Amino acid sequence: MKDISETRARLKGIFNITVTPFTANGDIDTAGFARSIERVIGLGYDGILIGGTYGEFPAMSTEERADLFRHAMNVAGDRVPVMLCSAHSDIRVVKDLTRLAGELGGLPMVTPPYVSEVTDGQIVSFFRDMAPLSKTGILVYNAPGIGITLSPAILEQLADIDNVAGVKQGDLTPTAIDQIANRIGGRIRLFCASDLAFLGPMMAGFDGISSTNSCALPELILDTYRALEKGDATTARDLHRIWYSFRALARKHGQPQTTKAAMNLRGFDGGSVRAPLRNLEKPVIEEIAKVLETLRGDTRTQVTLAA
């Protein structure tokens, strides 16, 4: 993407949150990372998100993250829009990664600042400072799990900032979704941050979703999204129900740990997680394998397992 206009035009649909595969000794498996990107682009995903929370950015150095940005853009090229997470507790790092993401043609995804007792006015000022740094604009990530939840009222103010392209909304409470969809929908792009419960936000008028579990179940989640996109809510609902058992395991054992374990069982490049996360133990992996086996038996899923 070359500027904010192109970003706004292309920022819609289903984006794969690509996990970062680490080797057993903690190195980034760049070849496996590239194969994961190629897989979802080949299947028809509308975009990818690199180095986010489930991409384990807090466990990487700034230099590793910058290298991951470059590698992702080299692989994806201009075939699909690429979100690049530039979040950090150090505002100097946020600035550097935000500039780099824009220079590479990606869309920097920026979270609120990680500081104690920050005021609403300071949050808005922070995003005003970040937005001009990227020629492609910025994506505001409303990430309650990180520690700050942006209210619909604050998001309304952020939507007025010229270079804000969209919001990735992690607070999926019905009231917040309803307010955001109706107050700022159409002004900037709205993305649902979770594939665990995306049917509601999409029906409310959101422009797209980002999906971690599509690394493990790319065919099924893509089919679910496309059905909803076509207005076939019944099929979308039925397909979403199929993988509830997997979602339950993800909620219980964590992401991206569960996603990576499932990827490995399918012969994909999940790799390992990096400390402080821990790879799942054998009994849990056996639970995941049983769920995948059940999904494989359903002709609607296209799920296969490694030989």
- Catalogue the active-site residues: 141, 168
Decide the pairing of beta strands 107-110 and 138-142. parallel
Distance between start and end Cα atoms, the chain: 39
**What is the 3-state secondary structure of 150-184?**
CCHHHHHHHHCCCCEEEEEECCCCHHHHHHHHHHC
Count how many Cα atoms sit within 13 Å of the Cα of residue 188 in the half-sphere of its side chain.
Answer: 25
* Residue 140: C-alpha distances to residues 97, 111, 124 (Å): 14, 6, 11
Tell me the C-alpha to C-alpha distance, in Å, between residue 216 and each of 28, 53, 103, 261: 19, 17, 31, 8
Give the list of residues 6+ apart from residue 194 with CB closer than 8 angstroms, or none. Answer: 170, 172, 209, 210
- How far is the C-alpha of 95 from the C-alpha of 91, rounded, in Å? 6
In terms of C-beta density within 10 A (0-12 exposed, 13-18 middle, 19 or more buried), how is residue 84 classed?
A: buried
| Beta strands per DSSP E along 88-158 | 107-110, 138-142
